[in-house]
Structure 1
């Protein structure tokens, strides 16, 4: 059975099969609903059901608490329609500018940047290019239909292999392979680009770029993209880790700060050890933003990293720092372990 989905306030409509999620149907129809993980863990696709009946596939309760669901909130990546449905959602202009493609690639380089971080670069076939927006991600297509998502750390202007920052999760199906048997020239298949985490270039508001761990990857792509475009927009990067070694491209960030008058860098360490001799900022990275910028009413925030950091930042920035809810853009890095919680 096929149902009609209507998006408010835009009025856009698209059809949805009964075994298809509302998000999947929207993507198929070229309607730009926001999304991130597509697995019910990050809440990027959360909106509201105004009328009609839906049920949700398994998802993290943290992403959609039962009390919110009872009031009509919905995770569209998990929502199955059982009637015609009217939803309320903020659409993302430009999210469907570049088609999602399945492509083969060859591992070009594997560079260890920290004990648990490897930068992988991928070479595409001759005469092939991947068009994407800085901040988007790709999904590796693994055996048995499994997928693993990684943000592109290289800007779209870069005529070089695609770069990805991969953190080792012991026992992880894909990361054990990357940190173990994988070698240069291995073939990997992926699908992309995906996601609605990319810079909104129709604004000149100062930007807070907030990253934890390898959440730095899409932030790096955004900074290098804006630099390539000659943008003079103010950017302040807050990058957090437990130990200094977690800021595995700290030197690059300091180079940006020295070279770009519109870029500022604030590294923050949450658990420094005496042997680290850390003399910089400490604590939770989003709280450093709040200390420096208690009024975010005129800013945009781009946050990427662990779900707990992203969720805490949004709640605190909106409630305590006057950040408009619709000026917080995020990509929560969910792992397979997160999805099984």
Structure 2
């Protein structure tokens, strides 16, 4: 992996406790859609964060960071970026990257800021021309955490092969969309998952539950991708 210092071009709170970060590496970097970077806090302290975009001419790296005051893991990273205006990262990391060339339709599953991972993959597929159907299921606890809802609705309107399904766990009367757990929505919508490439990012608990549930739908383990599965 490559170590590179990045200047912080943007650090903005998108919604409460969710931050958009754009980094400009001092040297060209290379990564695959769906891979992640490690923020180097110390030689023995490297913190993983998804990359929310794909390779581009500007050479920037985008991140979506969830950070609450009691989440020192992420807050310390944001504070260093704010105080120093730069950060050292190591990349690329992760095996759950887009399998370009696969003929299978794709299901992308995001929990919370795991959306960043799925956005990188989706963006690359759109650049490549969306040669197969793609479904994005984005699960959040509350509707106001769908910070890229309008962007995804726009992409879905522009690309007939792309279907966007937001799922809110704790809904109220103002929410008119799907409710409950995101993996349950997929279980309801698909008779079989045997012919799909499935990419998932979110809390380890969610990834584990989804893996077990998807076995009932005939998921091919070799077509289920998630960096969480390296650890659970």
Relative to the length of structure 2, the TM-score reads 0.93
Any conservation in 2 of the 1:215–1:333 contact (CA below 8 Å)? no
CA distance in 2, matches of 1:237, 1:266: 6
Secondary structure at the counterpart of residue 205 of structure 1: coil
Change (3 A) 1:123 1:172: same
Which protein has greater RCO, CA pairs closer than 8 Å, 6+ apart? 2
What residue in structure 2 maps to residue 244 of structure 1? 143
Secondary structure at the counterpart of residue 183 of structure 2: helix
Secondary structure at the counterpart of residue 332 of structure 1: helix
* Structure 2, unpaired ranges of 5+: none
Secondary structure at the counterpart of residue 37 of structure 2: strand
Among 114, 129, 135, the alignment partner of 2:15 is 114
What residue in structure 1 maps to residue 227 of structure 2? 331
What does 1:154-303 align with in structure 2 at a 5 Å threshold? 154-178=53-77, 180=79, 182-183=81-82, 186-274=85-173, 277-303=174-200
Change (3 A) 1:131 1:207: same
* Structure 1, unpaired ranges of 5+: 1-99
Any conservation in 2 of the 1:103–1:191 contact (CA below 8 Å)? yes
CA distance in 1, matches of 2:78, 2:135: 32
Any conservation in 2 of the 1:242–1:269 contact (CA below 8 Å)? yes
Change (3 A) 1:221 1:130: same
State the structure with more CA Rg.
Answer: 1
1:285-332 Cα shifts (integer Å, max 9, x gaps): 0000010002111111101101111111111111x1111121111133
Q: Which one has a larger percent helix, Structure 1 or Structure 2?
A: 2
Relative to the length of structure 1, the TM-score reads 0.64
Any conservation in 1 of the 2:29–2:59 contact (CA below 8 Å)? no
